A and B are shown apart, each in its own frame.
Chain A
């Protein structure tokens, strides 16, 4: 019988939650890397026992941990993220030029075909890659070499490269997103990049339709349709049907189109999930109700899903990397909150249950579907 492993990164360590395919009884292990911020934990899709974790602290910097036994044991691997020789600066909060400085790894994206190859999205925004299981990391500096690089600026959370999607039909095509520069695509394995932000409108920047400067919070793709991407922007939920060449808004009847997380059903490429957040100054769910919104039409028509979730006095946030889906026949949906709860639905969102309630603030949730 299949089973699932939920990988949870929090402000003070990582946790691993496991259950069989029924997904009704859960075992919790952790905290792993206790006391450290764990921005992301993700397993290789071709070797479920190979898991990578980003461990960082304000005191002692960045570590990368690797497990070869499904998270039972871990070994630190390489943690040197030295920027390639790209001259220039990015824009600081006050508009002045600022040199690129490595701060932390936000997101780890293992290759779809090789367990030793992993992409890392870092702050200040850059993309790194290892091909030796994490020992050495090399920057794909073509991204920062883009002519707009000097105009990229940090958002409130820093200037982070937080989303990496590898096209399953063409490993040379990658999509990344940067707060607050926007979305970018490479078609040549990372050598050259281009902004893919046409159609985005952001009222909070001088030119709402600018080529870069958009605070893209998250991208999601169904592997069967690599030209269709869904985006949760700072405000607005967006969709592209041409690999990012143009976007259109699909916020529709959402109660608010601000949010962070977005994901796609494992078996229904037009079924999309978001968790609306009240506003950019009120980083909690509207009306004190924790609700996931689902569109089964690829956007615009959204239905609230709150059965089993708190429907009063709830004021948590769900961060950009904190929602994921499993690949069981009845698709499971998972998300973690800044209040330390991890919720799951074993029926595509119809009903929910808490897997754990009292973890540190959840930064990321990933799911492995095990044979």
Chain B
């Protein structure tokens, strides 16, 4: 299972109790596949992390994992093995800027 940590405002919107979401991601574990799975489980999050149409990350949302900033990585690049194995979570973070 892929572990994802969402920022508090989105946990409230999606009515997620607890700190992490566990997602079953079939196939390659990439930012795109994880976000697809997240939005499929919680449709209310569509448009809040990435744009509805372009699928690009919103400007003030960041992706961290294993102490790396993956925000500028290709959405189709494999995520670190520790994320794919569930050892480490993917952190979706509201940047300390933006409003």
A and B part of one assembly: yes
Q: Is A61 positioned at the interface, with any CB of B under 8 Å from its CB?
A: yes
Q: Is the CB of A76 within 8 A of B44?
A: yes
Q: Is A95 positioned at the interface, with any CB of B under 8 Å from its CB?
A: no
Q: Is the CB of A60 within 8 A of B46?
A: no
Distance in angstroms between the alpha carbons of A111 and B49 in the assembled complex: 31
Known contacts A35-B9, A76-B13, A80-B52; A59/B47 CB under 8 A: no
Known contacts A57-B99, A59-B94; A79/B60 CB under 8 A: no
- Total interface residues on A, CB under 8 Å, equals 14
Q: Is the CB of B53 within 8 A of A59?
A: no
Q: Is A58 positioned at the interface, with any CB of B under 8 Å from its CB?
A: yes
Q: Is the CB of B98 within 8 A of A59?
A: yes
Known contacts A35-B9, A79-B47; A58/B52 CB under 8 A: no
A321 to chain B, nearest CB (A): 19
Q: With CB as the reference atom, state the residue of chain B lying closest to A37.
A: B99
Q: Is the CB of A58 within 8 A of B53?
A: no
Q: Is B48 positioned at the interface, with any CB of A under 8 Å from its CB?
A: yes
Distance in angstroms between the alpha carbons of A76 and B60 in the assembled complex: 22
> When each residue 24-62 of chain A gets 1 if its CB lies under 8 Å from chain B and 0 otherwise, what string results?
000000000001110000000000000000000111111
Distance in angstroms between the alpha carbons of A36 and B10 in the assembled complex: 11
Distance in angstroms between the alpha carbons of A82 and B52 in the assembled complex: 8
Determine the chain B residues whose CB is within 8 A of the CB of A36 once the complex forms. 9
Q: Residue B10 contacts which of A37, A60, A79, A80 (CB distance < 8 angstroms)?
A: A60
Q: Is the CB of B60 within 8 A of A58?
A: yes
B10 to chain A, nearest CB (A): 6
A57 to chain B, nearest CB (A): 6
Q: Is A316 positioned at the interface, with any CB of B under 8 Å from its CB?
A: no
Q: Residue B9 contacts which of A59, A62, A79, A82 (CB distance < 8 angstroms)?
A: A59
Determine the chain B residues whose CB is within 8 A of the CB of A61 once the complex forms. 47-48, 58
Q: Is the CB of A58 within 8 A of B46?
A: no
Size bracket of the B interface: 10 to 19
Q: Is B65 positioned at the interface, with any CB of A under 8 Å from its CB?
A: no
Q: Is A63 positioned at the interface, with any CB of B under 8 Å from its CB?
A: yes
Determine the chain B residues whose CB is within 8 A of the CB of A79 once the complex forms. 46-48, 52
Determine the chain A residues whose CB is within 8 A of the CB of B49 once the complex forms. 60
Q: Is B25 positioned at the interface, with any CB of A under 8 Å from its CB?
A: no
Determine the chain A residues whose CB is within 8 A of the CB of B58 once the complex forms. 59-61
Q: Residue B94 contacts which of A60, A62, A76 (CB distance < 8 angstroms)?
A: A60
Q: Is the CB of A62 within 8 A of B47?
A: yes
Distance in angstroms between the alpha carbons of A60 and B52 in the assembled complex: 12
Q: Is the CB of B95 within 8 A of A59?
A: yes
Most buried by B among A36, A59, A76, A80: A59
Distance in angstroms between the alpha carbons of A59 and B61 in the assembled complex: 6
B93 to chain A, nearest CB (A): 9
Q: Is the CB of A57 within 8 A of B53?
A: no
> Which residues of chain B from 44 to 92 have any CB-CB distance to chain A below 8 Å in the complex?
44, 46-49, 52-53, 58, 60-61
Q: Is the CB of A57 within 8 A of B44?
A: no
> Which residues of chain A from 68 to 125 have any CB-CB distance to chain B below 8 Å in the complex?
76, 79-80, 82
B71 to chain A, nearest CB (A): 13
Distance in angstroms between the alpha carbons of A61 and B49 in the assembled complex: 8
Known contacts A79-B46, A79-B47, A80-B47; A60/B9 CB under 8 A: yes
Distance in angstroms between the alpha carbons of A35 and B13 in the assembled complex: 12
Determine the chain B residues whose CB is within 8 A of the CB of A37 once the complex forms. 99
Known contacts A37-B99, A79-B46; A60/B61 CB under 8 A: yes
> Which residues of chain B from 6 to 24 have any CB-CB distance to chain A below 8 Å in the complex?
7, 9-10, 13
Determine the chain B residues whose CB is within 8 A of the CB of A57 once the complex forms. 9, 98-99
| 16 A-B pairs (CB sep. < 8 Å) | A36-B9, A57-B98, A58-B99, A59-B9, A59-B60, A59-B61, A59-B98, A60-B9, A60-B10, A60-B13, A60-B61, A63-B13, A76-B44, A79-B46, A79-B52, A80-B52
Q: Which 10 A-B pairs have the closest CB atoms?
A: A58-B99, A58-B98, A60-B48, A59-B94, A59-B60, A76-B44, A80-B52, A59-B98, A79-B47, A61-B47
| A58-B99, A59-B98, A80-B46 given; 5 more Cβ-contact pairs under 8 Å | A37-B99, A59-B60, A59-B61, A76-B44, A80-B52
